[in-house]
Amino acid sequence: MMRRTVTVGGSWGVLCGIANGWPVASTLVQMTVPWVWIAALVGYRLAESTRRSGLLGGVALAAASVAYFGVGAIAGGLSGESPFGGIRFLILWTSIALVVGPIAGVIGRWLTTERTVLAVVLLATVSIAEPLALWAHIDHLDAHFAYFGVALIGLTFPVVWFRSALRNAVKAVALTVALTYPTAVILEAGLVALRQISSPLRLV
């Protein structure tokens, strides 16, 4: 399982490194949500227990981060830039991956337990909240296409997941709607603190 996890994470990182710079795709690979989904997928498909899912989620995102910045370093070296220019971001985002990855991995595992509704709500909420937090700070049209697509996936995920259980679908959508705005405010504050988007805060 560990080898498959590293393979999944590393492959995702390489894919993101190659896609970085393309319209729309560049925005997607630089968002947190697609990476969260990768860790959740690993927890859902590969983990044999909740504890194991946290470990695998962290390993997957750490491998993805190293692979992503590795591709960037190679590309930078080929273009005459220092291959070590992104080391600060590698350290920063790998550290974040080791926090976010285990959480997302556990959430992915919850999809197979009695906590399914909670897991679906959390994945859907973050998928809508991040685009909402970024929308007012980034004015590129291709970025807005990416944000809309991610948010649409988040909004439809509960309905698709619970397509045969209407009561759970309604509950999940209602909870997602209720949690999205406060989550977006928290994410916006965090991104401003990390200097990933410019201040001032726009959702508060």
Start-end of H helices in 136-165: 141-161
Q: How many residues does the chain have?
A: 204
Nearest to 124 by CA among 141, 111, 136: 111
Least-confidence region, from 129-133, 149-153, 200-204 = 200-204
Q: Sign (positive/negative) of CA torsion 79, 85, 89, 90?
A: positive
- The pLDDT value recorded for residue 199 is 81
Domain boundaries, the chain: 1-113, 115-204
| More confident call, 185 vs 72 | 185
Q: Is 141's pLDDT higher than 90? A: no
1 within 8 A of 47, measured Cβ to Cβ: yes
Burial 67-101 (b: 16+ CB within 10 A, else e): bbbbbbbeebeeeeeeeeebeeebeebbebbeebb
pTM over 0.75: yes
- The pLDDT value recorded for residue 6 is 93
Q: Is 82's pLDDT higher than 60? A: no
| More confident call, 159 vs 202 | 159
Q: What is the Cα–Cα distance from 84 to 162, expressed in whole angstroms?
A: 46
Q: What is the pLDDT of residues 98-107, one digit of tens each?
A: 999 999 999 9
Q: Is 83's pLDDT higher than 80? A: no
